[in-house]
Amino acid sequence: MTQKKKLVLRYFVNVLTILLGTFLMGLAFSVFLSPNNISPTGFSGIASLISNFAARYGVNINPSIIYLVVNAILFAIAFKSMGKEFILLSITGVLGYSLCMVVTELIKIDVGNDLLLCALYGGLLMGLGSGLVIRSGGSTGGGDTIACMLKNSNVKITTGQIIIAIDFVIIVCSCFAYGINYGMYALVTCFIMGNACDIVINGVKAARAFYIITDKGSELSEAIFKNVQRGVTELNVTGMYKHQNHQMLLCVVTRSQITALKRTIKSVDPKAFMYSVNVSEALGVGFEPLDKKTYTLKPKKNGDATKTENTNEVFVNETKTDETKQNLTEQKNNLQSGFINSNASVVNPSSKTTSENTKTEKPKRKRKNVKDNIPANDNNETK
């Protein structure tokens, strides 16, 4: 399969994933959240508030239309600040989400009147859908578009700060529009949505890093190799209270291996000191392959991309054709610079030796000719 076909296939898969994510978001909006006056986060929450506010005055506007118009204005402003692929995938996300808002209204599902369950399941579906969209390289507008508008300006505002500000405004407005209870349910939806989105983007294979300070570094490392089957990194540290040297072992394990690691440490060195840190993502040998999560180096025209045996990293090895080309250019430059100037100054050392040989050979030939010709003439005269 050629590289162009791979790019087209990857783009096609990303579009399908974005459409699936927008369908889940539309289902959460039209079935669980909007009928129960629970405002979702993002621009869809703003569209829901505007639609419900206009309905009080007898003006019926579909939230999908408001959502589409607001994002269209933002896309027109931030068009120059966004990449081509991001624009196409984001437009797919916005159009798909707006369409799914309308389509999922036709689905008649009786979810009951329990606001807490609607907030939980609405936030869960909304988080899963937005996670699929973001993981595929797209967005559904809103805070991401505003961040693209502000990245070339002097205003130092991150995407996270923009999203938090928008969500805060939505929750406060929902409290005034529907009541404090509905604002609290909107906060629950925001919390569930954020966690579900992180799980989809980062995965459920979260790990934990253990830092173990011990005086039995080699023994404990061998025990971890044998019982837990995980790699260990040793660091030399110094305790500042007694100024004693110790070994600190770093070991990253999965959740299922935490108990085995603790038992191993307790059996080898009960006096060891350790603490753990949650790792949201672990890539490399023994965990998720590195080449599936990060961008690999682009190989050169004369390069061959080869994988090593122990890791999944991709390296580019240059072929010998580049070296031969460099040698040819160097030889050509040497030949051009090897000529003798008009002042008899020699530039190239190889040409210097040849010129000296020619200078020494010419007088020898003249001397031989002189010695040979004089006796020959004398003999001819005597004869």
For the stretch 193-241, pLDDT in tens is: 888 888 887 766 668 899 999 999 999 999 999 999 889 999 999 989 8
What ranges in the chain are assigned the alpha helix state H? 3-27, 43-55, 63-77, 84-103, 115-135, 143-150, 159-178, 180-202, 217-227, 258-268, 320-336, 349-382
Position 224 scores a pLDDT of 93
Give the pLDDT confidence of 160-175 residue by residue, as tens digits: 677 778 888 888 888 8
Strand partners, 275: 211
pLDDT of 297 > 60? The answer is no
Report, at the CATH architecture level, how domain 207-279 is classified.
2-Layer Sandwich (3.30)
φ/ψ (deg, to 5) at 28: -65, -40
Q: Shortest CA distance to 258 belongs to which of 207, 221, 300?
A: 207
Give the pLDDT confidence of 94-125 residue by residue, as tens digits: 899 999 988 888 887 888 788 999 999 999 99
User: Which residue has better confidence, 34 or 306?
Assistant: 34
List, edge to edge, every strand of the sheet that includes 207-214. Answer: 233-239, 244-254, 207-214, 273-279
User: Which residue has better confidence, 143 or 252?
Assistant: 252
Position 225 scores a pLDDT of 92
Contact between 221 and 265 (Cβ < 8 Å): no
Contact between 157 and 145 (Cβ < 8 Å): no
Q: Shortest CA distance to 91 belongs to which of 133, 147, 126?
A: 133
Compute the C-alpha angle 54/55/59, nearest 5°: 70
Question: What is the share, in percent, of the chain residues with pLDDT greater than 90?
Answer: 22
pLDDT of 251 > 90? The answer is yes
Q: Shortest CA distance to 50 belongs to which of 132, 151, 173?
A: 173
Domain ranges of the chain: 3-202, 207-279
C-alpha span between 350 and 116 (Å, rounded):
90
